[in-house]
């Protein structure tokens, strides 16, 4: 701003002179923000300097307001930030336009339009103004202020020094440094300092309620307008006294000084009423009277209804020092306040450029750096939407985001849009308080060219972070540009975003993998895309991770942390990997994915205590989260915490009312030994969800758990089966055949699936079924056939090569997709190699990263011990296996029980076999936990163990369960024949 009588003449006297004389330009002025070249100093004041500069991008002259480091206190810092946010949210010809805010080194700056003219204070230096001039300026003042009030912003510090008159006669409102948002606002920008009790503003123009320290509203601005009108009409303020204390007392108790009569005086009088209710409600009403006066209408506002209010209060007007102390206290309180839970809706893309459709992901990445904010991840948002019954969501637009915000609930919701005007792109951001349906703040930025969009994301992110209470030092300490932590190539980012969406929505991971590879093709140094490929899994995932880590400086701190933990895992250093991932979870507690991985890795290494702690914490942060529910249930069951199982599942049913929620509650009741409550729950579920396939599977599990095979089989005739995918139905029917001991029928279905898979050209799916066949043959006692089937599976998958060599075959890589992730072929083969005693093949599989790394050394040790006939070593290996990954504990406990019996340790066998009931009832979960009839084999071995210790009753109970479940089994099953003989002998002996 250029003033005719010296730059910033109204404020310069309050500042300490710099070493450089006002108006002089140092020889080496910096270029602020890489685009604002300084041309001259226009002036200086208590907040810093005002510089004339040129915007090198747009080629226009601008004003640069710089907050010089070391020349301001904390209150001035806060005011400077609020000025940028408030004025930047308004677009009106009577309000100074804010184009940009930023930082250069230790200096913060605001970029505004360059104004040439003088302040209203200078305009009034020679006394009162003509009535027509007062009407013109008053109308412009009310017009600009009405725009702010409509947006919910009140100025709180209107005075002649903050009103600027350009050479064209345009009045501009300046300095929104202590602005605040009206409580009733429903459309507008910012909520700033609203503390009741804070006396803030310029005393001569302050309203009575501000003097008392009460909350200010639009009527407080109206009072200031009245004081300014009075001064324009009379030449002096209405309540000016010798001291500030006397002035404050006069505002509270005295009538305003005399002024010329007339309609303008009546308008000023109504503005200056002591009682807010007697004033104009807002600047819009004041503007209406100005317009009416301009048209010649009679103004009846007058001073009617004025009441002298006696205020029985002790008025203490704070000094400048007291204000500074108050500001510092406010900043400390703000820093110590609870973190703000916030989410970002998808951008409204008004450009028709599909490369700009994923900008919400960029903004989340930028905001996540804040220590002040708890940013809801996209994964958490989709998880919440699933629990709301919204499973097919492609975009989280504003209406959907508002629903989500109420469900979580959120403290703030970011709503953003991007528009294009020729080569200029503009981003607008509003932050909504969902609980009050009012906007807390707004921010905007614009620039030329699409390549500038990531930088604009950085700018609006800074506005939001500062606006929500983050301090400038914290902002500066954690502000990596998104172009660096992601990519500057927006087309590449679009592919990354689409891939992430596919993964989060549980859609085709193969397509997601293609999207990530397209992103890398466009930007080979896109570290985050490499990391996402690793996290998605696949034959080259380790290479992707290595590449991501070579580009570690292109990752956010959070992603670098996860990548390093992942590298330790794939390189076989499990303990180190788990420790690193736990550290990540502790450093980034708001990221549910990182905490979930820490829980998952702890769980699979057998540390269920730690897993439960992370999962419970995650439930506290996100009460609707269900991913990891299974692990938490197993962890609690292993610890005997049936009370926690029941509490969790009852709450889940109360909130979600889904068949899955009811299924978990059934599991909890069965684990706690309350079969009648489990049955009642199943019946309620069936009433609520008639014909639902998930409900049928849960009922199947209950019948199996209760050893009611006929009732389980009756479910095969239910009409719900007709709606199920044929392959899924085949697997379910095969499970039931195995449970009933009908190996021949199960093997026939397996051959059918192998033929279907080969017909489709899916060798990996075929190999998986053949490996499963090998396990079935082993359980039936056909060891030679089991070995042949396992070898056939490896041949199908690897083409006769070693696993390591096959991994390099592009044709094999192309086939190895989502199916390998969902039901790991490697795990099937590893289980077969272990029980068949093929230690070399087990080692090759694990070294090639095609089987789960958990307890890898014990798989190999068990296989080698069986191969060498070392029973004690095999028992030791299995004891370590069952202490590890709980997902496969059932089958391994049955194997361990058999080993204990071979070693003539029946009591240890009983202890191990009694644990085989840990986990959900059969049929409830699709999670692979061994061949379904392994727990029938467990009953057989349990009966044998009880018989050896002389407990005939317990032995008969276990044997009879075998006979009941295998009432229609293949008649030549060795265990079935032996069970019948043992039962006959025991009953005869009794």
Helices (H), 706-782: 709-714, 726-739, 743-759, 763-780
The CA angle 326-329-332, to the nearest 5 degrees, is 155
Q: The tokens of 189 are what?
A: 């920008």
Q: Identify the H or E element spanning 593.
A: helix 592-604
- 3-state class (DSSP) for residue 374: strand
* Residue partners of 506: CB distance under 8 A and separation at least 6: none
Contact 678, 666 (CB under 8 A): yes
| Number of other CB atoms surrounding residue 338 within 10 Å | 8
Instruction: Specify which residues 49 forms β-bridges with.
Output: 44, 66
Q: How far apart are CA 862 and CA 869, in angstroms?
A: 10
- Determine the Cα–Cα distance for residues 179 and 296; give it in Å rounded to an integer: 34
Q: Which of 120, 223, 220 has the alpha carbon at shortest distance from 180?
A: 220
Three-state secondary structure string covering 104-157: ECCEEEEEEECCEEEEHHHHCCCCCCCHHHHHHHHHHHHHHHHHHHHCCEECCC
Among 157, 523, 607, 831, the one annotated catalytic: 157
Would you give the DSSP letter of residue 87?
A: H
Closest CA to 178 of 76, 71, 303, 325: 76
Residues with Cβ < 8 Å from 152, sequence gap 6 or more?
Answer: 181, 182, 184, 185, 186, 187, 188, 189, 438, 439
- Name every residue whose Cβ is closer than 8 Å to that of residue 90 and which is 6 or more positions away in sequence: 147, 148, 151, 153, 189
d(CA 211, CA 199): 6
Cβ proximity of 276 and 221 under 8 Å:
no
Q: How far is CA 322 from each of CA 71, 198, 335, rounded to the nearest angstrom?
A: 18, 10, 20
Reading the block at residue 783, the tokens are 């060891």
Helix (H) / strand (E) containing 585:
helix 574-587
- Residue 445 annotated among the catalytic residues of the structure: no
210 within 8 A of 202, measured Cβ to Cβ: no
What's the token pair of residue 954?
Answer: 């317990």
> Half-sphere exposure of 659 toward its Cβ, with a 13 Å CA cutoff?
16
Contact indicator for 601, 578 with CB cutoff of 8 Å: yes
d(CA 429, CA 467): 12
3-class DSSP assignment, residue 101: strand
Residue 188: φ, ψ to 5°: 165, -175
Number of Cβ within a 10 Å radius of residue 685? 25
Structure tokens at 635: 């962890």
Catalytic residue list: 157
């Amino acid at each position: 701003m250029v003033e005719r009588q010296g730059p910033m003449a109204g404020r310069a006297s309050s500042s300490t002179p710099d070493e450089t004389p006002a108006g002089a330009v140092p020889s080496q002025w910096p270029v602020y923000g890489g685009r604002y070249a300084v041309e001259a100093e226009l002036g200086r004041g208590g907040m810093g300097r005002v510089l004339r500069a040129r915007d090198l991008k747009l080629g226009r002259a601008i004003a640069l307001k710089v907050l010089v480091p070391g020349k301001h206190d904390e209150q001035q810092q806060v005011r400077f930030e609020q000025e940028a946010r408030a004025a930047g949210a308004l677009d009106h010809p009577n309000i100074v336009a804010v184009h940009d805010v930023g930082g250069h080194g230790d200096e913060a700056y605001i970029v505004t339009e360059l104004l040439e003219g003088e302040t209203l204070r200078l305009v009034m230096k020679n006394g009162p103004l003509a009535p027509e001039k007062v009407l013109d300026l008053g109308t412009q003042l009310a017009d600009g202020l009405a725009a702010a009030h409509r947006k919910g912003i009140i100025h709180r510090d209107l005075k002649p020094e903050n009103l600027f008159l350009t050479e064209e006669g345009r009045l501009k409102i300046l300095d929104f440094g202590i602005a605040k948002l009206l409580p009733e606002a429903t459309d507008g920008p910012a909520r700033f300092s609203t503390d009741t009790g804070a006396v803030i503003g310029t005393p001569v123009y302050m309203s009575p309620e501000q003097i008392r320290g009460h909350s200010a509203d639009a009527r407080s601005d109206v009072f200031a307008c009245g004081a300014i009108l009075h001064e324009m009409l009379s030449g002096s303020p209405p309540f000016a006294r010798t001291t500030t204390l006397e002035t404050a007392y006069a505002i509270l108790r005295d009538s305003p000084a005399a002024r010329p009569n007339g309609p303008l005086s009546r308008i000023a009088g109504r503005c200056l009423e002591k009682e807010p209710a007697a004033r104009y409600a807002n600047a819009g009403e004041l503007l209406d009277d100005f317009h009416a006066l301009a048209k010649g209408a009679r103004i009846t506002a007058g001073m009617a209804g004025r009441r002298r209010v006696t205020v029985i209060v002790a008025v203490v007007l704070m000094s400048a020092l007291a204000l500074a102390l108050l500001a510092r206290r406010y900043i400390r309180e703000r820093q110590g306040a609870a973190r703000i839970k916030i989410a970002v809706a998808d951008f409204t893309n008004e450009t028709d450029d599909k490369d700009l459709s994923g900008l919400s992901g960029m903004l989340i990445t930028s905001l996540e750096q804040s220590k002040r904010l708890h940013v809801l991840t996209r994964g958490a948002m989709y998880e919440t939407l699933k629990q709301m019954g919204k499973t097919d969501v492609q975009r989280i637009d504003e209406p959907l985001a508002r629903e989500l915000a109420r469900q979580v609930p959120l403290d703030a919701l970011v709503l953003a849009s991007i528009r294009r005007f020729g080569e200029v792109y503009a981003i607008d951001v509003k932050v909504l308080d969902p609980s009050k349906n009012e906007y807390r703040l707004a921010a905007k930025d614009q620039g030329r060219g699409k390549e500038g969009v990531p930088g604009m994301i950085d700018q609006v992110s800074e506005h939001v972070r500062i606006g929500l209470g983050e301090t400038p030092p914290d902002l500066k300490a954690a502000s990596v540009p998104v172009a660096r932590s992601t990519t500057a190539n927006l087309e590449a980012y679009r592919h990354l975003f689409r891939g992430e969406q596919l993964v989060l929505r549980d859609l085709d991971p193969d397509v997601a993998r293609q999207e990530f590879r397209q992103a890398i093709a466009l930007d080979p140094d896109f570290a985050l895309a490499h990391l996402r490929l690793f996290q998605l899994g696949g034959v080259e995932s380790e290479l992707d991770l290595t590449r991501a880590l070579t580009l570690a400086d292109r990752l956010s701190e959070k992603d670098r942390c996860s990548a390093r933990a992942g590298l330790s895992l794939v390189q076989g250093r499990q303990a180190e990997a788990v420790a690193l991932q736990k550290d990540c979870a502790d450093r980034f507690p708001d990221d549910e994915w990182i905490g979930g991985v820490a829980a998952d890795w702890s769980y699979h290494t057998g540390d269920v205590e730690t897993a439960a702690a992370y999962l419970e914490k995650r439930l506290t942060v996100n009460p609707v989260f269900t991913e990891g529910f299974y692990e938490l249930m197993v962890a609690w069951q292993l610890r005997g915490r049936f009370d926690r199982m029941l509490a969790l599942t009852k709450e889940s049913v109360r909130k979600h009312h889904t068949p899955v929620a009811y299924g978990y509650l059934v599991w909890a009741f069965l684990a706690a030994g309350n079969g009648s409550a489990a049955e009642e729950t199943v019946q309620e579920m069936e009433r609520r969800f008639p014909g639902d396939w998930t409900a049928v599977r849960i009922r199947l599990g209950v019948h199996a758990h209760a050893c009611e095979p006929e009732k389980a089989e009756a479910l095969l005739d239910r009409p719900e089966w007709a709606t199920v995918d044929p392959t899924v139905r085949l697997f379910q029917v095969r499970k039931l055949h195995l449970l009933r001991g009908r190996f021949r029928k199960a093997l026939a279905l397996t051959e059918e699936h192998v033929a279907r898979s080969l017909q489709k050209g899916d060798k990996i799916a075929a190999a998986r079924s053949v490996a499963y066949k090998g396990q079935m043959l082993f359980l039936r006692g056909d060891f030679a056939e089991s070995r042949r089937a396992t070898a056939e599976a490896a041949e199908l998958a690897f083409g006769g090569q070693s696993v390591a060599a096959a991994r390099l075959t592009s044709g094999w890589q192309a086939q190895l997709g989502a199916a390998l992730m969902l039901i790991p072929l490697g795990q099937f083969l590893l289980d077969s190699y272990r029980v068949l005693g093929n230690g070399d093949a087990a080692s090759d599989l694990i070294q090639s990263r095609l089987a789960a790394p958990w307890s890898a050394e014990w798989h190999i040790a068990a296989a080698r011990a069986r191969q060498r006939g070392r029973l004690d070593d095999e028992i030791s290996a299995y004891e370590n296996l069952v202490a590890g990954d709980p997902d496969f504990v059932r089958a391994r406990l049955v194997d361990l029980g058999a080993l204990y019996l071979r070693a003539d340790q029946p009591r240890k066998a009983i202890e191990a076999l009694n644990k085989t009931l840990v986990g959900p009832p059969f049929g409830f979960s699709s999670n692979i936990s061994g061949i379904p009839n392994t727990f029938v084999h467990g009953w057989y071995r349990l009966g044998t163990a009880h018989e050896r210790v002389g407990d005939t009753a317990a032995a008969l109970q276990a044997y009879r369960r075998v006979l009941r479940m295998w009432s229609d089994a293949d008649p030549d099953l060795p265990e079935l024949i032996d069970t019948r003989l043992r039962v006959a002998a025991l009953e005869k002996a009794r």
